């Protein structure tokens, strides 16, 4: 509204007042001049000139009167008349001499000379006049002749005077003329000013007219807007009474305009529960000028309809200061439809999400449920293959097996996708030997590559044989997928696996290239999508779900990496991916273990062993020891995974750590024993670093066959493993390892002298080989550095968590013969579990000093031993 | 003064005799006849008379009326003058003038008219003394109608100057 009427004015009030002042000055000047003219005219009036001339001529008249009186004396003899006439003449002349009115005239020399002459003559005659009558009578002839000499000068004086005053009149008339001219000029100016004023006033009138037109147009527009808007517009005054209520307000709130105008708003549309707050808000606003709602944009609140119905209402309030006081303008919108729509949308989304989740769950469950019977089928096919069969039957069986394995592969793919899509699990970070892993992958693909007459090479360039920190399982699966793909599409060519560290960063790039059929550009962009199988007969030949690369992409991304492919149709393809993979140690050797070597290690009584252990170092050690003894090792990272693995495949032995995340060893053991999987009767041996007598009792109750106390040596392990492999002795757990370790470890005071058991360390190096042992020890040292710092400086707030971390560290340290350190850790764990967490926390800082000593001794010992090798 | 007005004396004496004669049986019983030389004769529509239908005054009679003294300059004299006399307004009241105007006439028969509406207290003064002295005919005496010219520009006009009649000896009250 305001903006509509603020336009520039044609003439300001200042200018107008200046013009007014000019007019007043003109009027004033004219009035003054008019008075002046009036005065001048008065001066010019007949009385003035007549009077002067009268006075001048009167002298002559009186003079002649005197002479006539003297003449009359001869007849009457009256001298008193002569005296009176003389006195009158005298008084006339004396008036010229003294009167201020004749001052200018007196300044005329001729006049003054004659006046002086006449006066002196008259004065000389006074004694004669005042003499007694007789004397005067006798002197009359003398008096007469004396007086007659005055005739000429008196006449001349009168003429001079008349002439003089005629001049004065002339100049006076001129002054009047000048004044009249000025009046005329001023009158012209006044007329001009009036003309300008009337123009200005006309402009002002037109401007005001235009403004009025605009204002009425604007208010008409506003009126139209307010009445046609879909929002309710309600205007209230300071007293909270409605002064405006538009059509939409009528339809939204159900009150008619007539009902609403003048009624208090609060009783109409504010719900009961908000009324007090509303009134207080109004009061506060009017008192302090503070705003809670006014001018704060859109606010959502419940409002009341006439029929008592509450509905969600979105509104904004603006304040307007008008001549008639403060007005509040509220724009309100019935939001019930929108809120309902939002609610429906939300419900629809939730439903869709639930459906999606159900689908994913279904996929996961189905795949899982399909895998178990498939495994059964495949096992049975293998068993069937060992029976007497005709060649035809063997062929059928082969087809069945191939189909079964393909089906299993597909199911595994789907399961992977479902898991990767649903799990928010972050990639794990554990140390492992990268070169060995790649060697194993190549080895696993040996059959197909041989069939395809394709050579598989590996080049880790300057990485050597590195121990890296990452998610071994996922990385393995990615490389496996890429490699099997490459081999699949390459006949009589070469497949190359390369790995390279990018600069000094932790990022490692892996490349799998082949000299196969290649991929068209058009297809390159979609090969990482799900269920993509390139539509070529060549590709069809191999079948597949088309999930392989999709899974690889998901896996790489879950490890915070990127994946891509380049290809030249006919020349081959290159798949690459980059992932953060910190290298813990680089081996000097760039050689890979010959893939065939593993087969040489096989010995007659090799066993399938499942190692369930959450500590990666322990995993590595145990795996290495068992592998060297010719056993086939499957690893599981925790109890649950252990149970899953145990459900898939039969193991001769399960080594079960006790303290693990998600599911501990005891629960896993119970699950396996109570399940109907292939391992419900397998031997299960507990692996524990801290076995209290009552714990061992619990392990037995859970179905453990034996307990192996950490630290574990190769010989101890070998002995325990080899005990009656085929006869599970549920009720007779042996404590074969007990004599070698402390079955019931008591908290011991750390001995500074002998922090490291050098014999145990030597055994470890011997068991694992210097390469492996050196890598492991350096990993252990690095990890322990971090852990000790963490436990001393920023211990976890949760007691259970702290105990778990100490336990884990104790498990690692016991492997390396750091007896004092690990016994301190165990005593901390025991205190924490059996006494008080507070006491444990108090004692925890001791770790640092002892670890410093231990570390020094360990490093020294290792160096010595390595030198000896 | 007496010498100059000798001609009037006999007339004045006669008038005084008439006034006395009338005074005994006329309405203006309180108005005495002049003892000295008659200076002023008032005729026309008046109620207070001492000489037939006229009222005549000598200096003593005029002095007996409430006197007023003004100080003012005039255009006919030099310097500030002191005039003492009886106000024309009071004088006309005294003689019981009822006319619309008066005609004042001088010794030499110079005459002017003054509307009675323009005669008011603080206005015209019939002066018999100038600067503490009686005035001779040579000094524009013995009676001179003056106005307090200096007190207001209203008295500095030609019409006022023309009404400033000197050597006054007759007043006629006109209907």
Q: Could you tell me how many CB contacts below 8 A there are between chain A and chain B?
A: 68
A91 and B157 within 8 Å at the Cβ level: the answer is no
> What's the whole-number mean pLDDT along residues A705-709?
80
Give dist(CA A314, CA A331) in Å, integer: 8
Burial track A534-545 (b if 16+ CB lie within 10 A, e otherwise): beeeebeeeebb
A169 lies within 8 A of chain B by CB:
no
Is B80 part of the contact surface with chain A (CB cutoff 8 Å)?
no
Question: Across residues A359-368, what is the average pLDDT?
Answer: 72
Give residue B12's pLDDT band: very low, low, confident or very high (50, 70, 90): very low
- Residue A612's Cβ-side half-sphere holds a number of Cα atoms within 13 Å equal to 31
Task: Enumerate the residues of chain B whose CB falls inside 8 A of the CB of residue A101.
Answer: 75-76, 161
Half-sphere exposure of A31 (CA within 13 A, CB side): 6
CB distance from A91 to chain B under 8 Å? Answer: yes
Question: Using the beta-carbon criterion (under 8 Å), do B78 and A88 form an inter-chain contact?
Answer: no
Which helix H or strand E contains A563, and what residues bound it?
strand A562-568
Return the SS3 of A81. Answer: helix
- Beta-carbon separation of A87 and B75 below 8 A: no
Q: Which residues of B touch A63 (CB under 8 A)?
A: none
Percent of chain A scoring above 70 in pLDDT: 86
**Mean per-residue pLDDT, A785-806:** 84
Among A47, A91, A123, most B C-beta atoms within 10 A, so best to mutate, is: A91
Nearest chain A Cα distance for residue B23, angstroms: 30
What ipTM was reported for this prediction?
A: 0.75
**Which pLDDT score, from 0 to 100, does residue B2 have?**
38
A80, B6: Cβ pair inside 8 Å? yes
A109-130 and A80-98 are packed helices; what angle lies between their axes, rounded to 10 degrees? 150
Lowest mean per-residue pLDDT among A152-166, A302-316, A697-711? A697-711
> What confidence score (pLDDT) does residue B147 get?
93
Q: Are B3 and A78 in contact (CB < 8 Å)?
A: no
What are the contacts of A207-214 at 24+ separation with CB within 8 A?
A207/A9, A207/A10, A211/A5, A211/A7, A214/A4, A214/A5, A214/A7
User: Would you call B75 and A84 a contact, using CB atoms and an 8 Å cutoff?
Assistant: no
Q: What is the mean pLDDT of residues A317-334?
A: 84
Give mean pLDDT, residues B105-125. Answer: 90
> How many CA within 13 A on the CB side of residue A439?
17
Cis amide bond preceding B119, omega within 30: no
Contact B108 A88 (CB under 8 A): yes
The candidate with the shortest Cα–Cα distance to A477, out of A541, A415, A407, is: A415
Do β-strands B168-174 and B101-106 pair in parallel, antiparallel, or remain unpaired?
Answer: antiparallel
| Confidence tier at A754 by pLDDT (50, 70, 90) | low
Residues of A in contact with B140 (CB under 8 A): 91, 95
Helices (H), A318-445: 336-385, 391-422, 434-444
pLDDT of A642 strictly over 60: yes
pLDDT on residue A534: 61
| Alpha carbon of B159: minimum distance to chain A alpha carbons (Å) | 7
The radius of gyration computed from the CA coordinates of chain B, to the nearest angstrom, equals 15
Confirm or reject contact between B101 and chain A (CB < 8 A). Answer: no
CA separation for the pair A578, A505 (Å, rounded): 11
Q: Residue A622 and residue A714: Cα distance in Å, rounded? A: 8
Q: Does B157 touch chain A (CB under 8 A)?
A: yes
At A657, give phi and psi (nearest 5°).
-70, 155
Tell me: pLDDT of A855 over 80.
yes
Alpha-carbon span A357 to A127, nearest angstrom:
158
Asked which of A282-291, A602-611, A743-752, A826-835 is least confident by mean pLDDT, the reply is A743-752
- pLDDT score at A5: 42
Which of B6, B75, B139 comes nearest A91 by C-beta?
B139
Q: Which CATH architecture has domain B2-174?
A: Alpha-Beta Complex (3.90)
Q: Are A87 and B108 within 8 A, CB to CB?
A: no
Run of H or E residues at B57: strand B55-58
Confidence class of residue A548 from pLDDT cuts 50, 70 and 90? confident
Q: Over 60: is that where the pLDDT of B16 sits?
A: no
**Position A395 pLDDT exceeds 70:** yes
Q: In this complex, do A100 and B157 lie within 8 Å of one another by their Cβ atoms?
A: no
Question: Backbone phi, then psi, for A568, in 5-degree steps?
Answer: -125, 105
Residue A93 burial (CB count, 10 A): 22
CB contacts of A48 in chain B (<8 Å) are 158
Q: How far is A120 from chain B (nearest CA, A)?
A: 15
Half-sphere exposure of A802 (CA within 13 A, CB side): 26
| pTM recorded for the entire structure | 0.36
Q: Which residue of B has its CA nearest to A123?
A: B138
B135-145 mean pLDDT: 89
Within 8 A of A90 by CB-CB distance, chain B residues are 137-138
Contact check, Cβ <8 Å, B167/A88:
yes
Please list, in sequence order, all residues whose beta carbon lies within 8 angstroms of the beta carbon of residue A166, skipping any fewer than 6 positions away.
none
For A482-497, write each residue's pLDDT tens digit. 998 888 888 888 999 9
Residues A753-780 have a mean pLDDT of 77
pLDDT for the residue A423: 60
For residues A20 and A28, what is the distance between their CA atoms, to the nearest angstrom? 12
Most B CBs within 10 Å, among A50, A81, A84, to test the B interface: A84
User: How do residues A721-746 score in pLDDT, each as one tens digit?
Assistant: 776 443 333 333 333 333 333 334 44
Q: What pLDDT does residue A657 have?
A: 87
Extract the tokens encoding A231.
Answer: 């929002």
Distance CA A361, CA A378 (A): 25
H-helix or E-strand spanning residue A467: strand A467-470
**Neighbour-count burial for A399-438, b at 16+ CB within 10 Å, e otherwise:** ebbeebeeebbbbbbbbbbbbbeeeeeebeebbbbbbbbb
Give the separation between CA A527 and CA A563, rounded to whole angstroms: 11
pLDDT at A787 over 90: no
CB within 8 Å: A62 and B108: yes
Q: Which residue of B has its CA nearest to A98?
A: B77
Which residue carries 């002095």 as its tokens? B63
C-alpha atoms less than 13 angstroms from C-alpha of A57 in its C-beta half-sphere:
10
Side-chain half-sphere CA neighbours of A318 within 13 A: 6
Q: What are phi and psi of A510, to 5 degrees?
A: -110, 140
Nearest CB partner across the interface for B7, out of A65, A84, A99: A84
A99 touches chain B (CB under 8 A): yes
Give the pLDDT score at A647: 87
Q: Does B117 touch chain A (CB under 8 A)?
A: no
Average per-residue pLDDT in chain A? Answer: 79
- Would the pLDDT of B11 be above 50? no
Query: In this model, does residue A170 exceed pLDDT 50?
Result: yes
Residue scoring higher pLDDT (B29 or A220): A220
A661 CB near a chain B CB, below 8 Å? no
**Domain residues of chain B, as ranges?**
2-174
Taking an 8 Å cut-off on Cβ atoms, the answer to whether B3 and A83 are in contact is yes
> B4 and A45: CB-CB below 8 Å?
no
The larger pLDDT score, comparing residue A410 to residue A739, is at A410
Quote the pLDDT of residue A291.
66
pLDDT in the model for residue B7? 42
Distance from CA of B73 to the nearest CA of A (A): 9
Residues A126-133, mean pLDDT to the nearest whole number: 86
């Amino acid at each position: 509204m305001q903006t509509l009427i603020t336009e520039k004015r044609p003439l300001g009030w200042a200018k107008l007042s200046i013009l007014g002042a000019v007019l007043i000055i003109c009027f004033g000047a004219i009035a003054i001049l008019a008075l002046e003219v009036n005065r001048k005219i008065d001066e010019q009036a007949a009385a003035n000139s007549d009077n002067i001339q009268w006075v001048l001529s009167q002298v002559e008249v009186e003079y002649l009167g005197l002479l006539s009186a003297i003449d009359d004396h001869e007849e009457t003899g009256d001298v008193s008349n002569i005296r009176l006439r003389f006195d009158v003449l005298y008084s006339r002349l004396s008036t010229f001499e003294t009167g201020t009115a004749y001052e200018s005239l007196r300044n005329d020399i001729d006049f003054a000379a004659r006046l002086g002459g006449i006066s002196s003559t008259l004065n000389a005659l006074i004694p004669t006049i005042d003499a007694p009558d007789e004397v005067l009578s006798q002197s009359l002839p003398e008096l007469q002749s004396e007086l007659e000499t005055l005739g000429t000068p008196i006449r001349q004086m009168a003429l001079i005077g008349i002439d003089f005053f005629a001049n004065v009149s002339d100049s006076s008339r001129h002054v009047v003329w000048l004044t009249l001219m000025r009046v005329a000029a001023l009158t012209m100016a006044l007329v001009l000013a009036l003309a300008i004023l009337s123009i200005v006033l006309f402009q002002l009138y037109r401007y005001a007219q235009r403004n009025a037109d605009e204002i009425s147009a604007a208010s008409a527009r506003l009126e139209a807007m307010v009445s046609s808007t879909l929002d309710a517009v309600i205007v209230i005054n300071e007293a909270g009474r409605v002064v405006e209520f538009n059509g939409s307000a009528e339809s939204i709130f159900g009150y008619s305009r007539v009902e609403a105008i003048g009624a208090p708003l609060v009783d109409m549309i504010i719900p009961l529960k908000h009324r007090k707050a509303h009134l207080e808000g109004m009061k506060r606003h009017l008192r302090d000028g503070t705003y809670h709602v006014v001018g704060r944009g859109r606010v959502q609140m419940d409002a009341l309809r006439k029929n008592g119905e509450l509905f969600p209402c979105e509104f904004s309030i603006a304040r307007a200061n008008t001549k008639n006081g403060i007005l509040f303008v509220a724009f309100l919108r019935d939001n019930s439809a929108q809120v309902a729509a939002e609610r429906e949308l939300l419900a629809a989304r939730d439903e869709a999400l639930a459906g999606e989740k159900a689908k994913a769950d279904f996929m996961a469950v189905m795949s899982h449920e399909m895998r178990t019977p498939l495994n059964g089928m495949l096992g049975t096919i293998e068993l069937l293959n060992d029976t007497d069969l005709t060649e035809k039957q063997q062929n059928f069986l082969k087809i069945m097996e191939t189909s079964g394995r393909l089906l299993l592969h597909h199911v595994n793919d789907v399961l992977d996708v479902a898991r990767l899509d649903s799990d928010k699990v972050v990639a794990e970070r554990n140390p492992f030997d990268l070169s060995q892993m790649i060697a194993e992958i190549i080895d696993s693909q040996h059959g197909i590559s041989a069939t395809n007459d394709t050579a598989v090479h590996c080049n880790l360039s300057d990485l050597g044989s590195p121990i890296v920190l990452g998610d071994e399982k996922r990385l393995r699966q990615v490389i496996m997928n890429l490699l099997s793909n490459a081999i699949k599409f390459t006949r009589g060519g070469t497949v190359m696996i390369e790995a390279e560290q990018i600069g000094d960063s932790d990022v490692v790039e892996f490349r799998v290239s082949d000299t196969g059929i290649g991929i068209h550009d058009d297809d390159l962009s979609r090969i990482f999508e799900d269920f993509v199988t390139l539509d070529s007969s060549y590709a069809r030949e191999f079948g597949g779900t088309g999930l392989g690369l999709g899974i690889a992409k998901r896996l790489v991304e879950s490890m915070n990496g990127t994946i891509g492919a380049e290809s030249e149709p006919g020349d081959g393809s290159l798949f690459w991916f980059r992932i953060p993979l910190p290298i813990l140690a680089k081996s000097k050797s760039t050689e890979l273990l010959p893939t065939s070597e593993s087969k040489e290690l096989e010995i007659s009584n090799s066993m399938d062993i499942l190692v369930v252990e959450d500590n990666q170092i322990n995993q590595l050690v145990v795996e290495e020891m068992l592998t060297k003894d010719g056993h086939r090792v499957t690893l599981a990272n925790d109890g649950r995974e252990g149970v899953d693995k145990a459900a898939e495949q039969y193991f001769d032995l399960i080594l079960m750590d006790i303290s693990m995340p998600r599911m501990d060893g005891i629960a896993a053991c119970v699950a396996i024993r109570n399940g109907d999987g292939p391992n419900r009767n397998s031997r299960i041996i507990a692996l524990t670093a801290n076995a209290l007598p009552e714990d061992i009792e619990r392990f037995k109750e859970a179905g453990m066959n034996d307990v192996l106390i950490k630290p574990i040596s190769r010989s101890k392990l070998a002995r325990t493993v080899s005990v009656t492999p085929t006869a599970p002795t549920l009720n007779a757990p042996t404590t074969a390892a007990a004599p070698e370790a402390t079955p019931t470890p008591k908290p011991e005071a750390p001995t500074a002298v002998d922090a490291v058991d050098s014999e145990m360390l030597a055994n470890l190096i011997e068991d694992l080989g210097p390469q492996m042992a050196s890598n492991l020890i350096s990993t252990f040292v690095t990890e322990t550095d971090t852990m000790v710092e963490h436990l001393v400086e920023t211990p976890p707030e949760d007691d259970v968590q702290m105990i778990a971390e100490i336990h884990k560290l104790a498990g690692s340290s016991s492997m390396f013969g750091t007896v004092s350190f690990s016994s301190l850790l165990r005593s901390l764990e025991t205190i924490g579990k059996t006494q008080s967490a507070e006491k444990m926390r108090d004692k925890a800082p001791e770790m640092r000093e002892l670890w410093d000593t231990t570390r020094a001794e360990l490093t020294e010992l290792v160096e010595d031993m390595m030198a000896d090798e | 003064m007496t010498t100059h007005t000798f001609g009037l004396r006999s007339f004045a004496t006669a008038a005084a005799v008439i006034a006395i004669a009338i005074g005994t049986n006329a309405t203006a019983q309180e108005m005495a006849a002049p003892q000295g030389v008659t200076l002023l004769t008032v005729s026309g529509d008046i109620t207070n008379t001492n000489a037939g239908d006229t009222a005549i005054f000598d200096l003593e009679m005029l002095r007996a009326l409430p006197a007023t003294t003004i100080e003012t300059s005039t255009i006919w004299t030099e310097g500030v003058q002191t005039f003492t006399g009886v106000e024309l307004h009071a004088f006309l009241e005294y003689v019981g003038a009822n006319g619309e105007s008066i005609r004042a006439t001088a010794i030499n028969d110079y005459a002017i008219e003054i509307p009675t509406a323009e005669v008011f207290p603080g206005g015209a003064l019939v002066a018999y003394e100038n600067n503490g002295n009686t005035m001779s005919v040579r000094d524009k005496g013995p009676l001179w109608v003056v106005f307090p010219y200096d007190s207001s520009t209203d008295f500095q006009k030609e019409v006022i100057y023309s009404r400033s009649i000197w050597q006054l000896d007759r007043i006629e009250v006109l209907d």
